[in-house]
Structure 1
Amino acid sequence: MIKLHNGGAYLLNGMEIVDDSPEAAQAIAAKTGCSVTKEEAAQQTMAYGILKDHNTSSDMKKLKIRFDKLTSHDITYVGIIQTARASGLEKFPMPYVLTNCHNSLCAVGGTINEDDHMFGLTCAKKYGGVFVPPHQAVIHQFAREMLAGGGKMILGSDSHTRYGALGTMAIGEGGPELVKQLLNKTYDINMPGVVGVYMTGKPIPGVGPQDVALAIIGEVFANGYVNNKVMEFVGPGVENLSVDFRIGVDVMTTETTCLSSIWKTDDAVKEFYEIHYRPEDYKELNPGNVAYYDGMIEIDLSTIRPMIAMPFHPSNTYTIEELNANLMDILDDCEKKALVSLDGAVDFTLKDKVHNGKLYVEQGIIAGCAGGGFENICDAADILKGSSIGPDEFTLSVYPASTPIYMELVKNGAVATLMECGAIVKTAFCGPCFGAGDTPANNGLSIRHSTRNFPNREGSKLQSGQIASVALMDARSIAATAANKGYLTAATDFDVNYTKPKYFFDKRIYDNRVFDSKGVADPSVEIKFGPNIKDWPAMEALTDNLVLKVVSEIHDPVTTTDELIPSGETSSYRSNPLGLAEFALSRKDPAYVGRAKAVQKAEKARVEGKAPEEGFEEIAPVLAAIRAAYPEVSNENTGIGSTIFAVKPGDGSAREQAASCQKVLGGWANIANEYATKRYRSNLINWGMLPFLIDTGDLPFKNGDYLFIPAIRQAILDKASQVKAYVVGENGLSEFTLRLGDLTDDEREIILKGCLINYYRD
């Protein structure tokens, strides 16, 4: 049972919920003997206390956060460090961990990936960081084992930066936000709302953390209940969960679109830190006696059943029992949703997976920051003990999240059990989560205990007629399906003796391989640059006026960052801004790059002092029509670029390249009804792009139209909330309105300068 409260709620002594109402204050006073205001009670959440400790401003409504530690992986750290170097970086001012868990397949793209790793190692030496070699650990498992601390805050350049179960508020953001921290600047946000997640009961055997997580996501994603808020896990049910179980739920909070998460801590968390030789990093966390939450989610853990998120989103959830009972109806619904997600680019069906009334899948994956935990894999091994996955299409791959976990699974026999049944056990690698490993066959269906199942994320190329599908499940039900040779099966259908072996952390594994500068920089170290590592191209400051061509129009309900810049094989080009930009929107709108580059020629000509039409003849009548109404428009004061429209862009990854690729192709703005996540909107701003909003309804423009936005620079300077814009047509200019949303003073200055690099350089 999951219940969402309408409006806010108070939590008394961590155990009793009182809904916000005119009578609430009186009821609370009667129960507790004290009187508190809503504002005072809101300051009693764990989240408020941690944010207050890290806020450098005097205003708790306008936060300026300095984090304790930073972490990145090898898809993001090259761009971050290159940006910081261009902005004056001399030393990492705080612990910064560079992990290598995404571009680990070093044969892909020639020497490119290993060149990036050498760049990272030499930067860790030069600037005083930590370098975790490939296959040692996925980014978030290393952070749990070696970085997290009670009451601390960590910023990571990966969307699943979540360590709330260990008492650490962690946030996943685009690379430019880490650059700000490296340059001793702050993370500026309005005080977020805090939503309580009140847990009671205890999960039944066979139910795992992914089941609980998917149940929550299914309830809160579409309605935006926790969007850009902090989820705070409380209630008596928390202590009925192991720390591994809590971690498995916590990492998936990213898929709710919340900002961050925090959990109350107890002796189990204290033991986690002791096991990892860091007892000093434990801190007991609890909300105050009377804490106010902006919303409340109640979960009776005993009612959760094995879940599955069908393609193509983690919120497309059903219980496995419900799916099996209504199989053809649900598959029919998936096909209807696919028509929207895939734009009819390929013929899609899962009905051919139904064999004798049962759903057959070709692949199972247990991996990464969500699935690769010790307890998940031990439970999966217990289910599979003595069975066989069979010699047919179905395959099973297991990726422990770190080498210390792998070592302990070897010692306790779990690896032997898995390999004996036919599974393949691999090293720590995030590839299955973003389409760089274990890609299914065309028309294949994979069940995965990983984080996402967006279209294209598992390696499909719609433009080549390729499509594969991912459904998210818990490791236990994946193991049960494997034991049933690929026929979808809930773990609760098996009577299993879960052995629950104790975990022993072998610290020597990291001591022997991880480079740790201990915060000491060595300026004499020469950074190693591979031939694919390129500097960012020059970017112009915002001009007085803008002419924008709409070069893509997307009407999907949500557009993911993977659709804006595909993951998978493109990751080898993440250190080459122009090379990577060639892939922008390639799986969603293959014509986008050509259209953007064509109009960019006009801007390049303008910057060189030529007439824009010398670069792009098509622009000539557009400029003539604009100058007829605005004669003051000139080549010197009016920039020319491109924009895209999407209903709700930015769900998913924190990768800044979703925005930077548009920028290096001449993008000046996005236009949206709303932005799916704060991190994508921040990425746009940090790359000097205007995050325009437009009211829902019929658009005043269409793909291919030119838009004129006069006096945009002055509007930013004046802190205007909306601006006048025009569609440039054959009959002149047709007016409409764009909104800018809230912008901080620093964000306005970044946009005016043209990007974060220019802002710091100036």
Structure 2
Amino acid sequence: MVRLSNGPAYLINGRDVVETEGMTAEELKNTLGSAYLNPEEAAKNSIAYDILKEHNTSGNMEKLKIKFDMLTSHDITYVGIIQTARASGLDRFPIPYVLTNCHNSLCAVGGTINEDDHMFGLTSAKKYGGVYVPPHQAVIHQYAREMMAGCGKMILGSDSHTRYGALGTMAMGEGGPELVKQLLSQTYDINRPQVIGIYLTGKPAKGVGPQDIALAIIGAVFANGYVKNKIMEFVGPGIENLSADFRVGVDVMTTETTCLSSIWETDTAIKDYFEIHRRPEEYKELKPGKTVWYDGMVYVDLSAIRPMIALPFHPSYTYTIEELNANLYDILHECEQKAIANLGDQVKFSLTDKIHNGRLYVEQGIIAGCAGGGFENICDAADILKGKSTGVDEFTLSVYPASTPIYMELVKNGAVASLMAAGAVVKTAFCGPCFGAGDTPANNALSIRHTTRNFPNREGSKLQDGQISSVALMDARSIAATAANKGYLIPATDIDVEFTKPKYYFDSTIYKNRIFDSKGDADTSVEVQMGPNIKDWPNMHSLTKNILLKVVAEIQDPVTTTDELIPSGETSSYRSNPLGLAEYTLSRKDPSYVGKAKEVKGAEEARTAGNDPSLELEGLKEAHETIRKVFPDMDYENTGIGSTIYAVKPGDGSAREQAASCQKVLGGWANIAQEYATKRYRSNLINWGMLPFVFKGEELPFKNGDFIFVPDIADAIENKRDSIKAYVVKDSLEEFALSLGEMTSEEREIILSGCLINYNRVN
């Protein structure tokens, strides 16, 4: 189904692939003939290179300083972003900024909190010149596709699934501080990323949908990091066999590969998409050049892909549904064992008890959000369910169209009637099922979902309360087939159905009648409306000469998600309150973290107030005395006190900055890791003034509860030293090495200043 090249590859005339592994330059010249270009020149012929070059302001294509065309956020992230920008001197949005409301839409918990955030968003859009999309109108990425995307554009969003590559738009999901930089007319600074070709051939079988293709790719590239922090460029003859909606459904899931962004060839299907959405001027043909060098090639035979399932608890844990059904007990038992290794003995988790008479029974189906809520997905699901019944037992099915225009068209063409008659519940545009704020299953239940992620507890259960339910990712078509089978797992390819493929008609009147669009005009007379839960960021201090860290959490899981660093779902109403939200930090992995971090923060507060910090933190006096035997000039004036966590590979998943900022407001000054799962999490740490330390040794020299002294850290950052001496403080000092990796000059200044807010106040 999916194969990876062993090294770089040339693409000739958009169709012929020549892998370079083991070939000399002379052999390549003979093979390619007149099409030969050296790799450096051929790399400039990718679609990605052209778009990056057009948006780069540095004049150096190896060190990019990108300015985006547009920004987009939702109601879990935009309050913190605008508050940060306001604290840094924001007076207007310099580029179009769309504030959507698709996460805290329900206004069901926290009293007035959620609607207060929405009014903050509306008044900010008026004051600073933005666009405000009210709750239930559209999920963030569907609105961006319909109203923002354009061929050759670049969009930055504060949500990890900011992916519009199928529409010719290079889009990236980052933490809020990167959007703040754009609002302050600063740049997005990265080394030029590598580009991986995704070479599509064939045509999907009947019943195979975009989630099936996406999961097959994710399963092949996630674990080995094949596309990590790189751009996926979709090319090849198979593209013409996919509709625009189908391509979008594959594209949005590229986030789960840990790539930086994505881009696709464009053709008449995309031209038609923009014409349907009444923005024909946004189309232009995007094609790779005659000879293109890619840093790797992923071959995807669309015709060979079968309906897929990603078992709990990661989108890369993939099988074909046929394979799973043929080996039910063995595969589910293996999944249980993996879960036990991750969850420990906190809860009882089982999947093999879902086997009923040799078949897998699931309790819930969901088709929703930026991945599942597309027009074609829901129309095909309706065709499968027409005249059928989801049954009267435990199994339930909920469907969330991704926007009101899609919903309206589904009403007009009868799809909603077919779904509801079968027993499905059709709801408004909402991201809740994807991150745990809606449709939480029963304890120990299994939900099959066409959404984006299936991390532990992301569906809304609370490990800290002894709850566990789980999600398997599937395509809408196989979810509908399973629903028609009364909850017993079956692939859509086993269903006899004729897909009607109705034409889509986009009605923009719905948006014109409800969405506030300033057209870029800022009204400075408007007062931003602040609810009682909307709090300013606390003061944060600049980095001291030395730092003394206390390890307050140690996570040995192979990968730690942002959901595990700061839970989604139940915490969403507090994302406008930095200190209130921080109370939930690491609650799913280490409930003792917050209390321990506060003890360290208390010592730092005493230090900055000129008091004795050793009175606030046990063991600090002894550690201080041990350090001064070797470093006699170390004292509480030149040495800050902060907490740190150790995790093997933190930051997989969401772009939400709160995974880092919550640690910061609790007194965190560093993370220590073997590596960082994503660029965006590492960037979040830096923008919140936290040191992204990397430890590469085989045996960890410290443990939870230890003090770590890092002398002359400010000098090391200022003078760009990579290898940094650190010391575990025991009866004596035990030296080990840390590194920070490459950082831009601006990033170093942010760290030295203590956070992005401080940096902008000075500059």
TM class, shorter-chain normalised?
Answer: over 0.9
The residue type equivalent to 1:376 in the other structure is N
Q: Which residue of 2 aligns with 1:734?
A: 734
Q: Which residue of 1 aligns with 2:383?
A: 382
Q: Which residue of 2 aligns with 1:63?
A: 64
Q: Which residue of 1 aligns with 2:191?
A: 190
The residue type equivalent to 2:159 in the other structure is D
> Structure 1 residue 32: deviation in Å?
5.4
Matches within 5 A, 1:578-617: 578-617=579-618
> Structure 1 residue 76: deviation in Å?
0.1
Q: Which residue of 2 aligns with 1:691?
A: 692
Tell me if 1:529 matches 2:530. yes
> Structure 1 residue 172: deviation in Å?
0.1
Note if contact 1:446-1:470 (Cα within 8 Å) is conserved in structure 2. yes
Q: How far, CA to CA, are the matches of 2:33 and 2:390 in structure 1?
A: 57
Query: Secondary structure, in 3 states, of the residue corresponding to 2:86?
Result: helix
> Structure 1 residue 611: deviation in Å?
1.4
Q: Which residue of 1 aligns with 2:759?
A: 759
Note if contact 1:25-1:36 (Cα within 8 Å) is conserved in structure 2. no
Tell me if 1:425 matches 2:426. yes
> Structure 1 residue 560: deviation in Å?
0.1
> Structure 1 residue 340: deviation in Å?
2.2
The residue type equivalent to 1:207 in the other structure is V
Query: Secondary structure, in 3 states, of the residue corresponding to 2:196?
Result: strand
In the superposition, relative to structure 1, how do residues 427 and 32 fare at CA in structure 2: closer, same or farther (>3 Å)?
Answer: farther
Q: Which residue of 2 aligns with 1:158?
A: 159
Query: Secondary structure, in 3 states, of the residue corresponding to 1:513?
Result: coil
> Structure 1 residue 339: deviation in Å?
1.3
Q: Which residue of 2 aligns with 1:747?
A: 747
> Structure 1 residue 82: deviation in Å?
0.1
After superposing on structure 2, the runs of 4+ consecutive aligned residues of structure 1 that deviate more than 4 Å are 23-32
Q: How far, CA to CA, are the matches of 2:258 and 2:25 in structure 1?
A: 29
The residue type equivalent to 2:722 in the other structure is S
Query: Secondary structure, in 3 states, of the residue corresponding to 1:202?
Result: coil
Note if contact 2:28-2:36 (Cα within 8 Å) is conserved in structure 1. no
Deviations 1:312-339 (A, max 9, x none): 0000000000000000000111111101
Note if contact 1:67-1:181 (Cα within 8 Å) is conserved in structure 2. yes
Identity of matched residues, %: 74
Deviations 1:393-414 (A, max 9, x none): 0000000000000000000000
Tell me if 1:721 matches 2:728. no
Q: How far, CA to CA, are the matches of 1:28 and 1:532 in structure 2?
A: 65
Deviations 1:730-749 (A, max 9, x none): x2111100011111100000
The residue type equivalent to 2:443 in the other structure is N
Q: How far, CA to CA, are the matches of 1:469 and 1:604 in structure 2?
A: 41
> Structure 1 residue 691: deviation in Å?
0.2
In the superposition, relative to structure 1, how do residues 25 and 70 fare at CA in structure 2: closer, same or farther (>3 Å)?
Answer: farther
Q: Which residue of 2 aligns with 1:11?
A: 11
Tell me if 1:120 matches 2:121. yes
> Structure 1 residue 28: deviation in Å?
5.3
Matches within 5 A, 1:449-468: 449-468=450-469
Note if contact 2:35-2:291 (Cα within 8 Å) is conserved in structure 1. no
The residue type equivalent to 1:269 in the other structure is I
Q: Judge which range, 92-101 or 461-470, deviates more.
A: 461-470
The residue type equivalent to 1:442 in the other structure is N
Note if contact 1:18-1:24 (Cα within 8 Å) is conserved in structure 2. no
Deviations 1:338-366 (A, max 9, x none): 01221221111111111000000000000
Matches within 5 A, 1:122-521: 122-521=123-522
The residue type equivalent to 1:316 in the other structure is Y
Note if contact 2:35-2:290 (Cα within 8 Å) is conserved in structure 1. no
Note if contact 1:205-1:492 (Cα within 8 Å) is conserved in structure 2. yes
Deviations 1:499-537 (A, max 9, x none): 000000000000000000000000000110000000000
> Structure 1 residue 39: deviation in Å?
0.3
Query: Secondary structure, in 3 states, of the residue corresponding to 2:571?
Result: helix
Query: Secondary structure, in 3 states, of the residue corresponding to 1:58?
Result: coil
Query: Secondary structure, in 3 states, of the residue corresponding to 1:305?
Result: coil
Q: How far, CA to CA, are the matches of 1:81 and 1:132 in structure 2?
A: 16
Q: How far, CA to CA, are the matches of 2:50 and 2:321 in structure 1?
A: 40
Q: How far, CA to CA, are the matches of 1:343 and 1:557 in structure 2?
A: 14
The residue type equivalent to 1:612 in the other structure is P
Note if contact 1:70-1:178 (Cα within 8 Å) is conserved in structure 2. yes
Query: Secondary structure, in 3 states, of the residue corresponding to 1:725?
Result: strand
> Structure 1 residue 616: deviation in Å?
2.5
In the superposition, relative to structure 1, how do residues 344 and 24 fare at CA in structure 2: closer, same or farther (>3 Å)?
Answer: farther
Q: How far, CA to CA, are the matches of 2:28 and 2:34 in structure 1?
A: 10
The residue type equivalent to 1:654 in the other structure is A
> Structure 1 residue 29: deviation in Å?
6.0
> Structure 1 residue 24: deviation in Å?
5.9
Q: How far, CA to CA, are the matches of 2:411 and 2:563 in structure 1?
A: 35
Q: How far, CA to CA, are the matches of 1:24 and 1:248 in structure 2?
A: 39
The residue type equivalent to 2:434 in the other structure is C
> Structure 1 residue 35: deviation in Å?
3.7
Q: How far, CA to CA, are the matches of 1:743 and 1:37 in structure 2?
A: 30
Query: Secondary structure, in 3 states, of the residue corresponding to 2:45?
Result: coil
The residue type equivalent to 2:758 in the other structure is N
Note if contact 1:264-1:285 (Cα within 8 Å) is conserved in structure 2. yes
Note if contact 2:722-2:739 (Cα within 8 Å) is conserved in structure 1. yes
Q: How far, CA to CA, are the matches of 1:30 and 1:307 in structure 2?
A: 38
Query: Secondary structure, in 3 states, of the residue corresponding to 2:289?
Result: coil
Tell me if 1:646 matches 2:647. yes
> Structure 1 residue 168: deviation in Å?
0.2
Note if contact 1:312-1:341 (Cα within 8 Å) is conserved in structure 2. no
Q: How far, CA to CA, are the matches of 2:341 and 2:73 in structure 1?
A: 33
The residue type equivalent to 2:104 in the other structure is N
Q: How far, CA to CA, are the matches of 1:25 and 1:421 in structure 2?
A: 64
Note if contact 1:200-1:237 (Cα within 8 Å) is conserved in structure 2. yes
Q: How far, CA to CA, are the matches of 1:696 and 1:141 in structure 2?
A: 44
The residue type equivalent to 1:493 in the other structure is D
The residue type equivalent to 2:110 in the other structure is G
Query: Secondary structure, in 3 states, of the residue corresponding to 1:568?
Result: coil
> Structure 1 residue 217: deviation in Å?
0.3
The residue type equivalent to 1:701 in the other structure is F
Q: How far, CA to CA, are the matches of 2:501 and 2:41 in structure 1?
A: 43
Q: TM-score, normalised by structure 2?
A: 0.99
Q: Which residue of 1 aligns with 2:635?
A: 634
Q: How far, CA to CA, are the matches of 1:155 and 1:558 in structure 2?
A: 25
Q: How far, CA to CA, are the matches of 1:616 and 1:206 in structure 2?
A: 61
In the superposition, relative to structure 1, how do residues 395 and 24 fare at CA in structure 2: closer, same or farther (>3 Å)?
Answer: farther
The residue type equivalent to 1:155 in the other structure is L
The residue type equivalent to 2:4 in the other structure is L
In the superposition, relative to structure 1, how do residues 391 and 53 fare at CA in structure 2: closer, same or farther (>3 Å)?
Answer: same
> Structure 1 residue 34: deviation in Å?
4.2
Query: Secondary structure, in 3 states, of the residue corresponding to 2:705?
Result: coil
The residue type equivalent to 1:340 in the other structure is A
The residue type equivalent to 1:492 in the other structure is T
The residue type equivalent to 2:749 in the other structure is E
Q: How far, CA to CA, are the matches of 1:121 and 1:272 in structure 2?
A: 29
Q: CA RMSD in A?
A: 0.9
Note if contact 1:228-1:677 (Cα within 8 Å) is conserved in structure 2. yes
In the superposition, relative to structure 1, how do residues 696 and 732 fare at CA in structure 2: closer, same or farther (>3 Å)?
Answer: closer
> Structure 1 residue 20: deviation in Å?
1.4
Note if contact 1:25-1:35 (Cα within 8 Å) is conserved in structure 2. no
Q: How far, CA to CA, are the matches of 1:300 and 1:616 in structure 2?
A: 60
Q: How far, CA to CA, are the matches of 2:264 and 2:692 in structure 1?
A: 33
Note if contact 1:68-1:153 (Cα within 8 Å) is conserved in structure 2. yes
The residue type equivalent to 1:382 in the other structure is D
